[in-house]
Amino acid sequence: MRTDQDWLAGRFESLRPYLTSVGYNMLGSVTEAQDAVQEAWLRLGRSEADAIDDLRAWLTTVVGRICLDMLKARQARREDLVGTWCPEPLFREPADDDPEGHAVMAESVGLALLVVLESLTPSERLAFVLHDVFAVPFDDIGQIMSRTPEAARQLASRARRRVRDVPMPDGDLAGQRRVVDAFLAAAGRGDFDDLLRVLAPDAVLRFDPPSGAAPIEINGALAVAGYVLRTAPMFLPKAIPAVVNGGPGALYGSWDEPLCVLGFTVSGGRIAEIYLIADPAKLRR
């Protein structure tokens, strides 16, 4: 016989992909997002669940509060890091039919926006992500931060100004894939001119290396193309097509043991940003 606890557990599981997306957009880490969602489940178990009118809204608030605390706790640690921080990528096979994975990725922002979100204060990030990405009212956001709705609105507005220069991916996914495939082909055969044709003039490459060394950032199409030709021809021909944060990407290694994930932001028909993430801690899932 199904109990109220069974119903609550089933309802929570149905909301898990959405809650994981909230956590991922707040934290840029699947692992930390899953920890936040699990903590929300524990808090739900300690609450008067029968008194909750809107379980989705209640859990969104709880996950938001947990993530805000996690962001504040790691802010001091992040200040000691050298170089550009890269998020933990969401990646899957193009033909993967995992519905939960698709649901998490569908509501998650791209790598370029995640990098800029990392430069915001925890409160700015919370206000922007919950309101602009998940349409949470400012009244609820203010309660999470113990601020007025107007203060939450101002935080989101400040964040919006910071992220407005982030290159927006083209809407045509097939077109994005063609640009990325052209990049991979040009890199594989060492064609400098063809690389320049698919790179935006102000393209950026960010590399999160596997050895614990400081991340690398390279700016400008000429510098990016030169770096790619010095390092990529040895492994890009073996790259496996992948979907990375909802856009076209590639994986080096295997699905069981990925060694590096490549994510791309294709904007205006050219590659604006490239992410090479090889930190094993960010690929272990």
Domains of the chain: total:
2
Euclidean distance between CA atoms 187 and 233, whole angstroms: 6
Tell me the pTM: 0.85
Check which CATH number belongs to the domain holding 43 and give it. 1.20.140.160
Do residues 26 and 120 make contact, with C-beta atoms less than 8 angstroms apart? no
Q: Are strands 199-208 and 270-277 parallel, antiparallel or unpaired?
A: parallel
What would the mean pLDDT of 229-251 be, rounded to a whole number? 85
Mean pLDDT taken over the chain: 88
* Of residues 103, 241, 248, the one with CA closest to residue 174: 248
Q: Check residue 58 and give its pLDDT.
A: 93
Same domain, 149 and 14: yes
* Of residues 271, 267, 254, 262, the one with CA closest to residue 232: 262
Same domain, 29 and 100: yes
Q: Check residue 218 and give its pLDDT.
A: 95
Last residue of a domain, one of 105, 134, 163: 163
In a domain, 168, yes or no: no
pLDDT tens for 60-80 read 999 999 999 999 988 766 554
Q: Check residue 82 and give its pLDDT.
A: 44
Same domain, 240 and 125: no
Same domain, 125 and 48: yes
Q: Which of 43-52, 84-93, 100-109 has the lowest mean pLDDT?
A: 100-109
Residue, of 210 and 97, whose pLDDT is higher = 210
Same domain, 191 and 155: no
Tell me the pLDDT band of 23, cut-offs 50, 70 and 90: very high
pLDDT tens for 255-276 read 889 999 999 999 999 999 999 9
Check which CATH number belongs to the domain holding 189 and give it. 3.10.450.50
The packing angle between helices 55-78 and 4-27, to 10°, is 40
Same domain, 268 and 132: no
Which range has highest mean pLDDT (190-194, 214-218, 231-235)? 190-194
Task: Tell whether the model's pLDDT for residue 54 goes beyond 80.
Answer: yes
Produce one character per residue of 217-248: b if its CB has 16 or more CB atoms within 10 Å, e if not: ebeebeebbebbeeebeeebeebeebbbbbbb
What would the mean pLDDT of 240-246 be, rounded to a whole number? 91
Residue, of 28 and 48, whose pLDDT is higher = 28
Euclidean distance between CA atoms 15 and 132, whole angstroms: 19
Euclidean distance between CA atoms 67 and 116, whole angstroms: 17
What would the mean pLDDT of 204-231 be, rounded to a whole number? 90
Same domain, 35 and 156: yes
Q: 88 is in which domain, residue-wise?
A: 4-163
CB burial class (10 A; 0-12, 13-18, 19+) of residue 194? middle
Same domain, 85 and 223: no
Last residue of a domain, one of 143, 163, 183: 163
Do residues 250 and 262 make contact, with C-beta atoms less than 8 angstroms apart? yes
Euclidean distance between CA atoms 101 and 91, whole angstroms: 9
Task: Tell whether the model's pLDDT for residue 84 goes beyond 80.
Answer: no
Same domain, 146 and 40: yes
Last residue of a domain, one of 163, 182, 204: 163
Q: Check residue 202 and give its pLDDT.
A: 96
Task: Tell whether the model's pLDDT for residue 19 goes beyond 60.
Answer: yes
Q: Check residue 1 and give its pLDDT.
A: 39
Euclidean distance between CA atoms 147 and 141, whole angstroms: 8
What is the four-CA torsion angle of 194, 249, 112, 124, rounded to 10 degrees?
170
Same domain, 115 and 195: no
| Joined tokens for residue 199 | 């790179």
Do residues 273 and 167 make contact, with C-beta atoms less than 8 angstroms apart? yes
Q: Check residue 77 and give its pLDDT.
A: 62
Same domain, 40 and 130: yes
Do residues 75 and 122 make contact, with C-beta atoms less than 8 angstroms apart? yes
Euclidean distance between CA atoms 281 and 285, whole angstroms: 8
Residue partners of 22: CB distance under 8 A and separation at least 6? 33, 60, 63, 64, 67, 129, 130, 134
Same domain, 95 and 209: no
**What percent of the chain stands above pLDDT 90?**
56
